[in-house]
Homo-oligomer: A and B are copies of this chain.
């Protein structure tokens, strides 16, 4: 299993790190020793919405070889849904079996045409924006639909990460990771 954590200018850092922490524990806590991941960006310069710098491990490389792509949200999405170059790059994730998003990251999945005919969620302030790209927008913390898995808002990224831990390594792995993180999972 090889995961692409997508990052971009104007993302919300916690959308990215909230899921990155529990999922990477699958390897560091030895539940999935063969888990691999990269931090992937379209451009080398990535700052979150507060100006905090992040450094991708892959820049501009196509995403088709990953099993899973995970897209955070943030104010930067508003510009990127109109950015043809970025969307073409994100479209290279088309063959990836699983496509996930946190918060307004679903707008990017939608603008890349991955949500046609699907059900998804996003930040509650962005439900109308998402309807442009997705026929069925629902108000749930996590929506798992046909290999498209979307989480609602910022801190839901942790819940989505723990949800994935269970999906990939079982209930006990998820519970041990949850305990290690001191997190009261609300799923």
Chain A positions near chain B (C-beta within 8 angstroms):
12-14, 17-18, 20-21, 24, 28, 39, 49-50, 52-55, 103, 123, 141, 152-156, 158, 180-184, 186
Contacts and interface: CB of A to CB of B under 8 A. Distances in A.
30 contacts: A12-B21, A13-B17, A14-B17, A14-B18, A14-B20, A14-B21, A14-B158, A14-B181, A17-B17, A17-B18, A21-B154, A28-B49, A28-B50, A52-B55, A53-B55, A54-B54, A54-B55, A123-B182, A141-B182, A153-B180, A153-B181, A153-B182, A154-B181, A154-B182, A154-B183, A155-B158, A155-B181, A155-B183, A156-B182, A184-B184
A183 B103 CA distance: 12
Given A14-B18, A14-B20, A155-B181, 17 more contacts: A12-B21, A13-B21, A14-B158, A14-B181, A17-B17, A21-B154, A28-B50, A39-B52, A52-B55, A53-B55, A54-B54, A103-B182, A153-B180, A153-B182, A154-B180, A154-B181, A184-B184
A165 to B, nearest CB: 13
Contacts of A28: 49-50
A49 B184 CA distance: 23
Copies in the complex: 2
Contacts of A156: 182
Contact of A186 (B52, B53, B153, B184): B184
B50 A53 contact: no
A92 to B, nearest CB: 23
Nearest to A20: B13
Contacts of A181: 14, 153-155
Nearest to A177: B154
Contacts of A20: 13-14, 50, 52
From A12, A141, A184, name the one whose CB has the most chain B CB atoms within 10 angstroms. A184
